[in-house]
Amino acid sequence: MRLPPSIVASIEEALRELLRFTGPADGTLSRFFRERPKLGSRERGVIAEAAYAFLRNRTLLTHFAESGSGPQMRRLALLALAETVSVDAIAGLGDDETGWLTRVAAIDRTSLLLSVRASFPDWMLERLLAQYGEPDALGLIDALNRPAPLDLRVNGLKSSREETEAALAHAGISFERTPYAPLGLRLARKPALQNLPLFQQGGIEVQDEGSQLLAQLLGARRGEMVVDFCAGAGGKTLAIGAAMRNTGRLYAFDVSEKRLAKLKPRLARSGLSNVHPVVIAHENDAKVKRLAGKIDRVLVDAPCSGLGTLRRNPDIKWRLQPTAVDELSAKQQSILAGAARLVKPGGRLVYATCSLLAEENERIIEHFLAGNPNFTLLPAHEVLSEQKIALDTGDFLKLLPHKHQSDGFFSAVLVRAT
């Protein structure tokens, strides 16, 4: 079925909204669709895919748009759409537009300057090249510019992996097992999960494999006192609670009441009753201090640049400013120091980000260990090996999309002396 000519105009409107960069792209698109209720689900899907394709390849498509004719925004919209569907599928094109899109599609992108084909801000490209070296950085950049699959975590309290696989197969949904996370399943397509009884009854949750592995590193056990220090909407909280088999006490701390509110319906579906969401003002809140030295395990999934999630959130690379990384580093140090006070002697502290930059990762751990000699680093590969997870990225967990097919994640496991 060919797409109606009106779809191009809708993509133009969406790009105008997105290019203001007034907030995250997913929120901007949600508002865009709410304001246009006549758009059908298929049209919304096409517009969203084209919009994200543009954000991934903004520099490249802007370069291509310098050729052709007609209004620039129409050229950008056409190029974005042609990233996701064939030219033949777009109705209402003139012969000149069809010819132009066909010629653009035939261009060997590897022949273009790296600064053009990478579609990354110069400062970000320079940092990735400096940190990872050219061959690795180019593989990483290419992977970050591709759409991510959809990862699910099986809720072990409600179903086994095998039972979940059978239910997905019965629903006609194709999947494969994630290579590392023991309860992970990966979907190539993105079905309407909310309509599945399996989802409605809490048998599965959407969660990237890298995020699932953070719960494995924390290793929470039955009956323990555990804190998810930056819980957000609670994806990792739910994984930790299930690992604890709904025993003990699990605090979900966050400074955002709005984010924690998103945890409530997920919590209701999950079957967990050991989770206690708590809104805190900051890392030194009195609610935090009264638990000092009492907690067995603390997870700090710190606020970060989010560069490891560019497959899902490509707008981040255009909204993030280099000065923000320095500000985030200072915040990360403060949050980690605040969370460390909770850990009891012999307890475990896991620091994590979805960043790819050493300033937010290794440098934070080096700074923390230099000022906290009562904590030592426990090699991440040893923790995973104990759980029969064959993944060795050294002392730290360092997941990269071009190597591990997950989002980019960093994590360090720290242990307080007894």
Active site residue 304: no
Average pLDDT for 181-206? 93
Check whether 1 has a pLDDT greater than 80.
no
Domains in the chain (CATH in brackets) are 6-119 (1.10.940), 150-206 (3.30.70.1170), 209-416 (3.40.50.150)
Q: What percent of the chain has pLDDT over 90?
A: 94
Q: Taking a C-beta distance cutoff of 8 angstroms, is the pair 237, 263 a contact?
A: yes
Give the pLDDT confidence score for residue 68 in this predicted structure.
87
Average pLDDT for 23-33? 96
Check whether 231 has a pLDDT greater than 80.
yes
DSSP annotation of 331? H
DSSP 340-385: HTTEEEEEEEEEEES---GGGTHHHHHHHHHH-TTEEEEPHHHHHH
Average pLDDT for 200-215? 95
Residues whose CB falls within 8 Å of the CB of residue 194, separated by 6 or more in sequence, listed in order: 200
Give the pLDDT confidence score for residue 188 in this predicted structure.
83
Partner residues linked to 151 by β-bridges: 186
Average pLDDT for 245-255? 96
**SS3 per-residue string spanning 9-75:** HHHHHHHHHHCCCCCCHHHHHHHHHHCCCCCCHHHHHHHHHHHHHHHHCHHHHHHHCCCCCCCHHHH
Check whether 190 has a pLDDT greater than 90.
no
Q: Taking a C-beta distance cutoff of 8 angstroms, is the pair 359, 325 a contact?
A: yes
Task: Give burial (CB, 10 Å; 0-12/13-18/19+) of 178.
Answer: buried
Nearest to 317 by CA among 329, 326, 305: 305
* Candidates 47, 227, 354, 414; catalytic one: 354
| Strands, sheet with 184-187, edge to edge from the N-terminal-most edge strand | 176-177, 184-187, 150-154, 204-206
Going by pLDDT thresholds of 50, 70 and 90, the confidence category of residue 2 is confident
Nearest to 186 by CA among 174, 194, 196: 174
Give the pLDDT confidence score for residue 152 in this predicted structure.
97
**Average pLDDT of the residues of the chain:** 95
- The reply to whether the predicted model has a pTM over 0.85 is yes
Q: Taking a C-beta distance cutoff of 8 angstroms, is the pair 47, 10 a contact?
A: yes
Q: Tokens 């999960």 appear where? A: 193
